[in-house]
Chain A
Amino acid sequence: MRTEQENAATFFEQPSSPDIERFVDINLDISEQVMQYLDSKNWTQKDLAAKLDKSEAEISKWLSGMHNLTLKSISKMEAVLGEHIIITPQVAKKMFTKDNYIYFTVYGSSNEGVCNFKTDDVSESFESAHLENQLVA
């Protein structure tokens, strides 16, 4: 006869369908992100509810990790928080790609020209130091 623990293991170890797993994961990601923004602003869920003109219970439901949040609800939260909650990989790349610049200090002697180096040397140095655009995490 199976023990309770064995039965529980059967229940808890049963994998869910991929769409349900994604639904829950994305939902919890959103909840965690919103909580982090609330923390940084010293807001409570009650404050967020007031700003959204919703009840605290409804906001608690929104942030439970299982509510089927609409795009509209997410947009409202983003507007009130003044922050992104979800962005696509394409938008993230545009937002977070940055160019890296290498600055050279050029020394010159008063007896010689300001630029006392060969242009070839400079080109070579610049090429070796130049970095392609990188996505910054």
Chain B
Amino acid sequence: MPTFATIIELYAFKEVTFYTVKIDGAATSLGSQFIESNKNHKHIQVLKTWIQNIGNKRGATKDLFRNERMADALPPPIEITLKDCQLRWYCLRMNRNVVILFNGGAKTKGIKSAQDCPVVGSHFNQANILSEAIWKAFDNGEFGFDDRERLTPKNITIEF
């Protein structure tokens, strides 16, 4: 049975507009769920600062996004205090100016693959399913980019 979701704008920086996905029936979008669940995580500040930097200054250059199968992982593991932090926010980089945020979390230490992790495994799989659906909708001409490199139309519905 098909499920529907809406791509909505979450926050526009100078160089990058971040969108997210709200699945039909859910109270909040995936991006908001990640923020709410991880806002007090000890490494969230670095993640947020990284987003601010690429959002305001550098753009979403391809090299900075680590490829996790179809979806991109944002970011790779953070190592600030000599302890591994596996906080991962899954996303889809569409181009230098458009990133779609999904959900994520802190990957369990010691588990090599995101798919096998009880914390992020479901988010990882969902991100990949949604990414495939989004690219399919884009290829079918169901949405595109306007002259300011933002998604058009607003509130795009996709089926997955």
Contacts and interface: CB of A to CB of B under 8 A. Distances in A.
B50 A66 contact: yes
Interface residues of B, number: 36
Interface of A: 4-5, 7-9, 11-12, 14, 16-17, 20-21, 23-25, 28, 31-32, 35, 60-61, 63-68
B49 A4 contact: no
A66 B75 contact: yes
Contacts of A14: 48
Contacts of B78: 66-67
A68 B81 CA distance: 8
A5 B101 CA distance: 13
Nearest to B87: A66
Contacts of A35: 63
Given A64-B76, A65-B75, 8 more contacts: A4-B29, A4-B31, A8-B10, A16-B52, A20-B49, A28-B53, A64-B75, A67-B79
A24 B53 contact: yes
Contact of A11 (B28, B39, B76): B39
A31 B10 contact: no
Nearest to B8: A4
Contacts of B55: 12
Contact of A67 (B10, B54, B76): B76
A86 to B, nearest CB: 18
Given A4-B28, A4-B29, A24-B53, A32 B58 contact: yes
Contacts of A11: 35, 39, 48
Interface in B1-52: 8-11, 13, 18, 20, 28-29, 31-32, 35, 39, 45-52
Nearest to A36: B63
Interface of B: 8-11, 13, 18, 20, 28-29, 31-32, 35, 39, 45-55, 58, 61, 63-64, 66, 75-80, 82
A63 B63 contact: yes
8 contacts: A4-B31, A7-B35, A8-B11, A16-B45, A28-B64, A32-B61, A67-B79, A68-B79
Given A12-B52, A28-B53, A23 B46 contact: yes
Contacts of B47: 66
Contact of A21 (B8, B13, B29, B49): B49
